[in-house]
Amino acid sequence: MVEAPAPDPERLSTLESSWNSRLLGVLEEAGWLEGASETLMGWLQPLLAAPGAARVKDLLHGRWLGHALHPVLTDAPIGFWMGAAVLDLAGQEFAAGLLSGAGSASAVATAVTGLADWTVTDGRERRLGLLHGLVNVAGLCLQVASLGARLQGRRGAAKSLSYAGLGVSSAAAYLGGELVFGRGLMVNHDAWTAGPDEWTPVLPSPQLPERVTRRVDLRGHSVLVYREAGRVYAMEDACAHAGGPLSEGEVEDGVVTCPWHGSRFRLKDGAVMRGPATFPQLRLQARERQGQIEVRGRKG
């Protein structure tokens, strides 16, 4: 009897578990995506480092909205293009052309927000995100070609290109869904954490000097504790953006900066002062009692 090969310990188990995860595994490990990602990041670097870029990025990430902006906008082009396809089937070609144009215009705005989110990804997510973007660009090109054919009165070609574009964009949407629901990209990494109801000692007081960040273990997950001007602060250590260790970040003026992509959170209330995070950081209550730093989950 032939024994099944031993699983590769270096390979994520999620890439082996189903046909679609195996397919995605092949795609996201493609070497050319890594090279293309580096090239694109090189091109974007001057823009990302330009004065005022942080504010523009915050706008594009959706910090003002309280969650990621890109997924909100993705409904627009898909909805317009789907409407155009239905109207084409119904023989309403002028109206279909209007929706097709609106879909292509909204796709450009959607792509810009997606590109902003992509610049704060790493590794597999960055490669899969680039593939998602490239497939979307292909879908947009087909829709623009469809619009051009409509304007030239080539109705058959316009419809075919529109249907093909919709199919390609749907494949890109699948990859986008995998990034959000399968990988947790731009979702709140602290969404299911609440902290204990009762005060729990986490550190002897002398081990928390003023203005020094410490990571402590609270029932199996990490919490950042910090003391300044006699007040003790505590918040989830895993950054709400992508889980970066806030305890390894700098604190300045009561604001901690994530070492991974630079999100900034106010210690007193967890508010996001700068993205790419769009969700506030979960804060816990903290105090010093009988020589111990104690923490508990926030009430309300």
C-alpha–C-alpha distance, residues 194 and 190, integer Å = 8
Q: List interacting residues with ligand FES (CB under 6 A).
A: 120, 239, 241-244, 258, 260-263, 276-277
Shortest distance (Å) from residue 282 CB to ligand FES? 13
Closest to ligand FES by CB, 124 vs 159, is: 124
Phi, psi of 298 (to 5 degrees): -75, 145
Give the largest Cα separation in the chain, rounded.
82
Q: In whole angstroms, how close is the CB of 123 to ligand FES at the nearest point?
A: 13
Task: Pick the closer one to ligand FES by CB: 121 or 143.
Answer: 121
Residue 59 CB, shortest distance to ligand FES, in Å, is 16
Q: Shortest gap between Cβ of 11 and ligand FES (angstroms)?
A: 24
Nearer to ligand FES, 79 or 254 (CB): 254
Query: Nearest-CA neighbor of 30 among 118, 158, 115, 131?
Result: 131
Separation CA 98–CA 143 (nearest Å): 12
Three-class DSSP category at 203: strand
For helices 123-151 and 93-118, what crossing angle results, to 10°? 160
**Smallest distance, Å, CB 272 to ligand FES?**
10
Distance CA 119, CA 219 (A): 34
Q: Give dist(CA 243, CA 291) in Å, integer.
A: 30
* Of 107 and 238, CB closest to ligand FES: 238
Quote the distance between the C-alpha of residue 43 and its chain's center: 21
State the nearest-atom distance from the C-beta of 218 to ligand FES, in Å: 19
CB of 117 to ligand FES, least distance (A): 11
d(CA 162, CA 142): 7
Q: Which amino acid is at 284?
A: L
* Position 168, amino acid: V
User: What are the residue ranges of helices labelled H in 152-196?
Assistant: 155-177
Q: Smallest distance, Å, CB 237 to ligand FES?
A: 11
Strands (E), the chain: 200-204, 214-218, 221-228, 231-236, 251-252, 255-257, 264-266, 272-274, 283-289, 292-296
